[in-house]
Structure 1
């Protein structure tokens, strides 16, 4: 590769040639200067014209004075001649800009922008026309200088390790990172581009009453938790350790500007939530819509829930509450759309083919490996199962021996034929607190037998309650049955298991293990890795919108009195429960191969994936390991371009500061754990980066975008139970015998809670129109041709995987791919094509990031 000096010389010769200037001619006259032309793309926000109020400079990679660390700066210029066009459904304007510079100016490496504009605007991109076009992938809000008191700096799409930074950009690089870290004081304003950490001390609202008090998560041994982005709101009046909350629900919670939804996405998010507005966001909804109270009484009523057309519009008190929650423009859009569109939930896939197939035992087992929580099940290692405190399960060999297809227990165990869905240990300590206010929950263990065709047959369910003394339990074992009252009891037991699984899915698999654990990595990346750092560029697409959606979750979903507390059996201890599970979290076990091995679903192997599944027809494992391997190959290819050996990893000062901050601050409650990678070897870097991208893309997609297909029909995945299994001889048992179906529907959540749960999963299952999927990036995201070539290779591999997934879904031997409900497994289908719109509930596609 040519040296920077040679590149600058070539550029000067080139510019001189097109201006008729002889190389080496003395400077000082107009003939010793040249024009660099360019363009900037702005997405307009407001009515005033940026042509009159925005000033741009370019900064050279060449130092102004040797050793100064400061590049040569051009004169300030204003963008001119705006031409508007449609950009992804938004109005974008392309402006021309020209700079007169000295012939020895060098290669431009940064843009410096000062906005005297009265309003913020969104800078999409910029391009400078030199010997080779220089691209700036901006994607950022620009706020008025009078608010920020600072210019904005954008670096070109050329990546540099810290020790390879061009001399003219060294100071800019350091100053930009320093400004992003802030000073850890003050309440954040909308325009503050500052990244800092805080505890989850904003979930409770003690000023509203004792019932809204919640423990601070993070910073203690009793309640460890990943850190979240700091907002700096003042403490509440009732508790100085708890951050105050707005009096009314507010969707405009602070996140740094570069982490905010695009204008179009925010509009779509609100519009997609129209059906959920009265259920999801308005506390008064249950009183305003009385038809949502009470319980369903029959399967026919639950089916009509999706076919009825309520024709509700947002009116009165609901309208006023909504107006206080969203910006004026979005409020008008929501009102217009709600008046045009009736409140009607689409038919979930789970009942589209057959309204009762979800009750099948085979489907019950299949959803544990191909549903929306497929990474909880594991192979049973010891029979009978036992708790961490040594308490043994009450399931006996005699309970299951007739359901092992002729095998002995030893033969079944040795052949990895017995699996367990274990919702016991983490729930048991909380059950006495959970089982109040009409909630009836057990801790559960479900044993399943893997048949010769790899379908799973449930063979026993154990439901447990705390006993009267420490470590004692009251256990009930229920066995499968196909007829009479025993079959009805078996269905009740399966319902309790699925309610447990719903809690684990929402709080642990979905929220904690993707959304929450990733946020500290995002903050550390912004604070410690310059935008021009190659690892920053690699990870940036995988962080899109995550901090914003997490902030919205803290505002309306996981807070005290929020949606999850209303619908989950864990109620007000929901987040405390997730903190308890975080105690067992290890970053080095979040990669798919290690997770599969830990759960006994695969063994180490010398093949390219590094593991071998213990049975072929495990849809999440089979598709997932191919996606993981493709990501690992891409990451390794990318990093090999910039890091030549282990020493180059160890000597990268920004990378080492990044990793240190993640361990010691972002996941500070885990700082003393020995399992953290040392980040001294190339292999550790690629493993960590692959894990991060896996979590942000494929893992999140696997637990999120199938939610409406499966949980949109709440009988398939109820979120709580209101009755225990009736004991023989009790009044409840007599009630059960009189009408088992009636007892079953009384056990389910009430109609309002069901509606709220359906509204939630409908919103969460939506893809928005600006989604960018795994294997996709803007065409000019990097100027490195070798990187582009490796990325094209990654995209091609994902397309091969897509074809394999379709082949597997069409293979009649692989019965777990579709199951009795006929839902093909596509939750790990990358969907790399650019053909047609992808928004809506598609049940496929792996977005680059946790963006919903």
Structure 2
């Protein structure tokens, strides 16, 4: 049973000494590394064993890996007979065909081995060792020390103890085998041999039609957006309920660098409306991707990659209109207006479609580098490290926050060592050179004001908080419900331990925690203290804690899971263009879009990465006890507040369900679809 939490200033001198000794040890375990691909940001120097991936998480990853690998093998099923290539539409040589057959055998063998290892994860004894399995999931190190004793106590049979102990000892190795196997198979598909295999399967080179992208989904269900992404309605809606739903900015007037005319505006919004009127009424909205201006771009087997720094104008019809959905009005593909950088509107046919595609490329890169990697994963890395280094395990804030950090150090380490490594998936898929892309993420963290990131403030700062001006904004509306649910829970929980502001100011562990977060030699986070420094009030502590939990759960879910439901179909949101943006308004054949879209091998990689990252759900918001044999919170005073929180989440689930009856459904922020932490 965990001890009842306490504030350090209320402990005895002996207890305070014990807390300090524990923290001294933890600072060695949770050390900073400032010399990585993410330098100068501090990341964990190592992933402590207790922070490694759990077995339940590994099961989800393995299952997703089997789905993806099975999909590839299904595409190739009709092209092989007993492992032998039976046709050669790709014009490969005999030697190349033999290599293709070798790759096919490796993949089928990999599928069998992955399936076997997944099955072995499920073989730990179930009864009488249910309590043991809970520990396997959460605390491998504790289990290894006590497995035999626990089973003897519950079963009284030595052989059961021996078997369970062996299962516990085997499971970490099985889990590592799964991760190594998935990594090996991915590298195989990224290799020269993988290229030959994809050529043989018809998954390589420029697409002849959009059907080639749909054909990449053999056993997988294509996202619903595959059937409607080319409409302006869905293009506009992605700003409000897509993978990157927190960038749209309300404006009163257009910037000089984006000189849209009233005639262009009225071609979409009607002759009775004007830019001046819409701006005055708060109905104009802007996307500005200036962050990508001049970024060095990379090359792949598909050729030179391109990314622009576009501006896009959107507007909401006036209040007297029946349909007040956001509409796409105009696009300028780079920052400086001129004859070679015209403004496109929906009246411009294929040229408009190409301009829209280049906005999507910029949005996809912004999403992955800033909204996703930078403002969820990397920021939470700093909170995770500082919490372990400055708050003793019996601190109430430590107990509240650590479930929301489960798996974060491990997944961030995997990203730093593999995903964003030179030649890795991000380097292959995104438009910029990998060093330049990584720098975008680093700068996003450095520039982010934590205090201005609290959801109500962030919405107001972007001018999108007023539902009368922007009525249909699913992300805003659902996220606010969840922010309020989390804030009420945090306030109720912390009020058990902090009687007043003086208790907050006297908590020297808490003050050391926030000092480290803001330190230029440690967390490096911007605007993470109150005026005067430190944390001065209970209300600020509640807001900051709410932000941490919201970011780890709701915000990460908002940007992570649409990778599967939108981005796995590459034409809907390509991560790089393969031709420059149009420089004139002219009639072009619709097939021109295919020259701008990624080649099929890059689309295949985008499908694998985004489906994989968007298909693993581990833990659920509010489910602190899900994998434990006893309550996570030992203090019985917490239980009523937790029950209220869980009831609020169920009510929010019903409210979102009702909203989805009268809008295009947005299911990303259903509470049952939101994990507790950033673990994928």
Please indicate, yes or no, whether the TM-score normalized by the shorter chain is above 0.5. yes
Give secondary structure in 2 for the equivalent of 1:810: coil
Residue 457 of structure 1, CA deviation: 1.3
Aligned to 1:744: 593
Contact 1:439/1:569 (8 A) holds in 2: yes
Distance between the aligned counterparts of 1:727 and 1:420, measured in 2? 21
Does the alignment pair 1:263 with 2:55? yes
Distance between the aligned counterparts of 1:797 and 1:161, measured in 2? 28
Aligned to 1:64: none
Query: Which one has the bigger helix percentage?
Result: 2
Give secondary structure in 2 for the equivalent of 1:443: coil
Distance between the aligned counterparts of 1:789 and 1:677, measured in 2? 34
Contact 1:443/1:464 (8 A) holds in 2: yes
Distance between the aligned counterparts of 2:250 and 2:349, measured in 1? 26
Residue 173 of structure 1, CA deviation: 2.2
Distance between the aligned counterparts of 1:462 and 1:582, measured in 2? 27
Residue 613 of structure 1, CA deviation: 6.6
Give secondary structure in 1 for the equivalent of 2:217: helix
Give secondary structure in 1 for the equivalent of 2:571: coil
Distance between the aligned counterparts of 2:532 and 2:444, measured in 1? 18
Aligned to 2:170: none
Residue 396 of structure 1, CA deviation: 2.8
Give secondary structure in 1 for the equivalent of 2:349: helix
What does the per-residue CA deviation read over 1:574-630, in whole Å, with 9 as the maximum and x for residues that have no partner?
A: 111223333431111221101101100016xxxxxxxx6743321001111111011
Distance between the aligned counterparts of 1:280 and 1:694, measured in 2? 32
Residue 427 of structure 1, CA deviation: 1.1
What does the per-residue CA deviation read over 1:289-332, in whole Å, with 9 as the maximum and x for residues that have no partner?
A: 3343202111222222213xxxxxxxxxxxxxxxxxxxxxxxxx
Query: Cα 1:411–1:746, aligned 2, differ >3 Å: closer, same or farther?
Result: same
Whose radius of gyration is greater, 1 or 2?
1
What does the per-residue CA deviation read over 1:32-76, in whole Å, with 9 as the maximum and x for residues that have no partner?
A: xxxxxxxxxxxxxxxxxxxxxxxxxxxxxxxxxxxxxxxxxxxxx
Residue 269 of structure 1, CA deviation: 2.0
Distance between the aligned counterparts of 2:479 and 2:263, measured in 1? 36
Give secondary structure in 2 for the equivalent of 1:668: coil
CA RMSD, 1 decimal? 2.6
Aligned to 1:228: 43
Contact 1:628/1:690 (8 A) holds in 2: yes
1:457 maps to which of 315, 327, 331: 327
Distance between the aligned counterparts of 2:274 and 2:216, measured in 1? 46
Contact 2:64/2:616 (8 A) holds in 1: no
Distance between the aligned counterparts of 2:57 and 2:268, measured in 1? 51
Distance between the aligned counterparts of 2:245 and 2:528, measured in 1? 30
Aligned to 1:409: 275
1:639 maps to which of 473, 494, 498: 494
Does the alignment pair 1:827 with 2:668? yes
Distance between the aligned counterparts of 2:574 and 2:363, measured in 1? 9
Contact 1:217/1:576 (8 A) holds in 2: no
1:202 maps to which of 20, 33, 36: 36
Aligned to 1:286: 195
2:574 maps to which of 712, 715, 718: 718
Contact 2:552/2:677 (8 A) holds in 1: yes
Query: Cα 1:396–1:762, aligned 2, differ >3 Å: closer, same or farther?
Result: same
Aligned to 1:376: 247
Which blocks of at least 5 consecutive residues in structure 1 are unaligned? 1-134, 136-155, 183-193, 204-215, 219-225, 232-254, 308-343, 387-391, 604-611, 812-816, 819-823, 832-844
Distance between the aligned counterparts of 1:168 and 1:450, measured in 2? 63
Distance between the aligned counterparts of 2:340 and 2:503, measured in 1? 58
Does the alignment pair 1:594 with 2:594? no
Give TM-score scaled by structure 2 length: 0.76
Contact 1:631/1:694 (8 A) holds in 2: yes
**Equivalent pairs, count:** 549
Aligned to 2:613: 764
Residue 728 of structure 1, CA deviation: 5.6
Aligned to 2:216: 305
Residue 774 of structure 1, CA deviation: 3.2
Distance between the aligned counterparts of 1:792 and 1:803, measured in 2? 17
Contact 2:361/2:573 (8 A) holds in 1: yes
Does the alignment pair 1:618 with 2:459? no
Which blocks of at least 5 consecutive residues in structure 2 are unaligned? 70-181
2:540 maps to which of 673, 684, 689: 684
Residue 465 of structure 1, CA deviation: 6.2
Contact 2:4/2:634 (8 A) holds in 1: yes
Contact 2:578/2:596 (8 A) holds in 1: yes
